[in-house]
Structures are given as structure tokens and as C-alpha cells.
Amino acid sequence: MRIARLSKRKTQGGHSLIDFAMVSLFLVPIMMATISVGFNTSRAIQVTTVTRDAANMYARWVDFSLTANRNLLVRLAAGLDMTDSGGNGVIILSKVTYIASSDCTGAGLTTGQCTNMNQYVIINRIVVGNASFKTSTFGTPGNISANGDVVNYLTDSSARATNFGNTLTLTSGQFAFMAEGFFKGLAWSVPGSNVGNLITRRYIF
């Protein structure tokens, strides 16, 4: 009788281990995702603040081609692993406008010469951080001067702000000052999901 009881306890113990292992297959990923989301929420708040402040200052004509102003953004992004030209994050600043026929004639161009007539174009682009980490959703001008001004934005098709009109409507003479922030989430991510990989924000003034 005693031997039978001991055998029954061993069997129950084995079943408990199997049950625990099966439940763990579901609980462990859920716990990892919960922890990842918690930490990423804190990072996302900082990314929001940095990107919004960058757009606000850019709209107030702060020149981010200057080292001192670039360093200011780097300090605001402290803890997000972004440096002036590297790291795991990037702030992309773009000044966008709409090109009408009057803009072309005012620059001494015929409508045939003005490749970007009736298009949204990027007329200034500044990148702070790792330029290869992520590119702008709206394209990358091919010829940019040292102060960020886009050269030949009336005739260079690479200056077009692709699909910008779906985000905001501008007319000739109006400008949008935009900051796009892309930062890496946690150092690890939940396999098979998007949790912990990338935090993105966009602000337009």
C-alpha cells in the first residue's frame, strides 16, 4: 500500500513538471513582451520629446548645420545611443514647400525646364545621428550644400518630397518644417514580433 502511494506521488510530480513546461511555452514570451513594452514605453516618450523639440527649434530657424546646435540635439537624446554622426538613432530635418509655375518663372525657368513644377520638394535637409540607420519616408535629395540647402531643387527630381501631399497640403510660398526621429528600441527583441526593434516619431510645424 505504501509503495503504491509513493509511485502515485512520483507520477503526479512528473505530470506537474510537464504541465509547467507546457505553460512556460506561453508565459515566457508573454513576460518578455511585457518587459520589452515597458522599457520601450520609456524610450518612446524620450524619442517623442526629442523629435518634437527638434521640429520646434527647426521651425524657429535654429541652424542645425552648426556643431553647437547639433550637440544640443545629441544631449537631448542622451540615453538613446545617438551621436553627432553615428549610434543607433537619427533625427532627419526637412524643410518642404510646393513648387508652382510662378516659382519657376520667378527663377527664370520655363515650365519645360522646371522639372519639379507642381511638386512638393525638400529645400533644406539636415541629418543628425547615424545617416545610414534609417532614411526619410519622403526621400533623400541628391545634392545638398554644407548648410543643408538643397541645390537645384527646382530642376533636380531627387529633391521631390515623395507623397508629402498625402500628409499635408501646401501652396506656393508656404513651408513645412519637419523632424523625423528613428531610434533603436531595446538591445533585444521578442523573436517573431516587432516589439523592441524600432521607435519612430514625426512632427511637422
Task: Kindly report, residue by residue over 105-117, the tens digit of the pLDDT.
Answer: 999 999 999 999 9
Mean pLDDT score across all residues of the chain: 86
**Predicted confidence (pLDDT) per residue in 23-69, tens digit:** 666 555 655 555 555 567 788 999 999 999 999 999 999 999 999 99
Hey, what's the cell of 163?
507623397
* C-alpha 16: how far from chain center: 47
Length of the chain: 205
Name the amino acid, one letter, at 90: V
State the Cα–Cα distance between residues 153 and 169, nearest whole angstrom.
19
Q: Among 123, 128, 120, 121, which Cα is nearest to 55's?
A: 128
State the Cα–Cα distance between residues 103 and 160, nearest whole angstrom.
15
DSSP conformation class of 132: T
Neighbours of 60 (CB within 10 A): 9
CA atoms within 13 Å, Cβ hemisphere of 47: 26
Burial of residue 54 (CB within 10 Å: 0-12, 13-18, 19+) is buried
Q: What does the longest C-alpha to C-alpha distance in the chain come to?
A: 106
Portion of the chain with pLDDT greater than 90, in percent: 71
Q: Taking CA 18 as the corner, what is the angle to CA 17 and CA 22, rounded to the nearest 5 degrees?
A: 115
State the Cα–Cα distance between residues 178 and 77, nearest whole angstrom.
17
Q: Taking CA 177 as the corner, what is the angle to CA 173 and CA 181, rounded to the nearest 5 degrees?
A: 155
Hey, what's the cell of 192?
517573431
**Predicted confidence (pLDDT) per residue in 79-108, tens digit:** 999 999 999 999 999 999 999 999 999 999
pTM metric for this prediction:
0.80
**In contact, 56 and 62? CB cutoff 8 Å:** no
